[in-house]
Amino acid sequence: MFCVPKHYEDDLERVYIPHGLIMDRTERLARNIVNDFGYEEPIVALCVLKGGYRFFGDLLNYISALNRNTDRSFQMSVDFIRLKSYQNDQATGKIQVIGGDNLENLRGKNVMIVEDIIDTGKTMLKLLDLVKDYNPKKVRVVSLLVKRTPHSVGYRPDYIGFEVPDKFVVGYALDYNEFFRDLNHVCVVNEKGKEKYAIPKSD
C-alpha cells in the first residue's frame, strides 16, 4: 500500500513507520522542544550525520515555522558531527568521530542534539561526553527512533519520536551500509536485503 523505490521492493520485510506519520510526530516534537527551551536564549542544533540529516531538516523547518508565527522568537544556529559505529547490521563496539565542525561554539550555549536512532545508547553517551568537554549551558537530545533492545545501557533521550522493535530499520536517511537512505518511510530490511548489500568480511 506504500510506495517504495522499485529497486528496494524485494529487500524490505515491511514498512514500519510511513512518511506521513513521521512528519506528524516531528511537528509535535518541534512544539514540545520550543515550549521547553523557551524563547529567552539562542539554541545550537547539532545534527548527527549521516542518518539524522532528514529528521534534522524537517524538525528545524517546523521549529522555524513556529519561530515565525508567534510574537516571540529565538536565534538558532546549526552544527554537524559525524559518527560511525556499525558495519553491516552489527555494532562494531568502536565509536568513531569521523567528521564534524569545530564544537568550540557550543561553549556556554543551549544545545539540542538531533539523532536518527538510539540503539544501545553507547554512541550517544560517547557523544554527550564529547560535547560536555565544551561546557555547554544545557544539552537536550531528540531522537526520531529508540530501539527496544536487550543490549541497551538504559539511556533514554529527552525527546523520542517512536520506539521500534529490535530489528534493523532503514529509510528516511537511515542506512544499511549506505543503502536505503532514499526511502521516504522507515522500513525493516529483510535477510535478502542484508545479504545483497553486505560489506564482505575481510580475512
Q: Would 157 be classed as within a structural domain?
A: yes
Q: Would 193 be classed as within a structural domain?
A: no
Structural contact between residues 172 and 4, judged by C-beta atoms closer than 8 angstroms: no
Q: Buried b / exposed e across 61-90, counting CB within 10 Å, b at 16+?
A: ebbeebbeeeeeeeebeebbbbbebbeeee
Read off the pLDDT of residues 26-54 as tens digits, 9 standing for 90 and up.
999 999 999 888 777 889 999 998 889 99
In sequence order, what are the residues at sequence separation of 6 or more whose Cβ sits closer than 8 angstroms to the Cβ of residue 98?
Answer: 82, 83, 84
Q: Would 158 be classed as within a structural domain?
A: yes
Average pLDDT (125-143) is 93
Q: Would 78 be classed as within a structural domain?
A: yes
Neighbours of 175 (CB within 10 A): 18
We report the CATH number of the domain holding residue 39 as 3.40.50.2020
**Mean pLDDT (the chain, rounded):** 87
How many distinct structural domains can be found in the chain? 1
Catalytic status, residue 10: no
Residue 164 has pLDDT above 70, yes or no: yes
In sequence order, what are the residues at sequence separation of 6 or more whose Cβ sits closer than 8 angstroms to the Cβ of residue 144?
Answer: 22, 26, 52, 55, 115, 116, 117, 161, 162, 172
Choose the catalytic residue: 119, 166, 175, 203.
Answer: 119
Read off the pLDDT of residues 84-106 as tens digits, 9 standing for 90 and up.
665 545 555 556 666 655 788 89
Q: Would 2 be classed as within a structural domain?
A: no
Provide the 3-class DSSP secondary structure of residue 5.
coil
Domain range for residue 121?
A: 19-165
Q: Would 142 be classed as within a structural domain?
A: yes
